[in-house]
Amino acid sequence: RRLMDGETDAALKGLDGAGPARLLLRRAVELSWEGCGPDEIRRGVEELAIREIPRYGRRLADLGMLANVATLAGLLGTIFGLQQSFGSLAVAESAQKATVLAAGISQAMNTTAFGLMVAVPCLVAHTRLGALQARRTEACDAAVVKLLNFFDARQSRVLRMADHRAARGGAA
C-alpha cells in the first residue's frame, strides 16, 4: 500500500527486521527505488532467495536425526538388556533365574521406553515445524510474487502512458 502511495521510505522502514520474507521484499523495494526494471528486480530477489529461504528449515533435519538416534539407542539398550538376561541365566542358580531374567528384561524395556520418549516428541516437532516451514515459504513466495506483479504492472502502465503520449505527440 505504501508503494502505491509513493512512500518508498515508509515501505522500507516497514520491512526492517529479520526473516527471509522481509529481506526479500526489502531487496525488491530497494532495487525498484534504484530504478531497476521488473526483470532486474526479479533476478535480484531470486538470487537472495537462494540464500535466505533455506533459513526456514536450517535445523529441521537435526530433529529427524535425533528421533532416529533415540530410537536406535533404545533398540541397542534392549539388545544389551536381553543379552544380559540370557547371559546371566547360564550362570545363575535355579532359584535366582527368574530374578535375573526379570532384571534384564526390565533394563531392556526401560531403554526402549526412554528411546521412544525422546523419539516421539522429536518426530511430532519435526512434522509440525516442517509444516510451519512450508507455510512460511509459501507465504514468502506469495508476498514476493505479489510485489513483483505490482512492479510489472507499474512498468506496463508507464510504458502505455509513454506510448500514448508519443502517439498524441506524433499526431499533433
Cell 516451514 maps to which residue?
133
The amino acid at 164: H
3: which 3 cell numbers? 508503494
Q: Please list, in sequence order, all residues whose beta carbon lies within 8 angstroms of the beta carbon of residue 67, skipping any fewer than 6 positions away.
A: 118, 119, 120, 122, 123, 126
pLDDT of residue 130: 93
Question: Which residues does 110 contact at the CB level (< 8 Å), separation at least 6?
Answer: 77, 81
Q: What is the pLDDT of residues 110-165, one digit of tens each?
A: 999 999 999 999 999 999 999 999 998 998 889 888 888 888 887 777 777 877 78
pLDDT for 8 equals 66
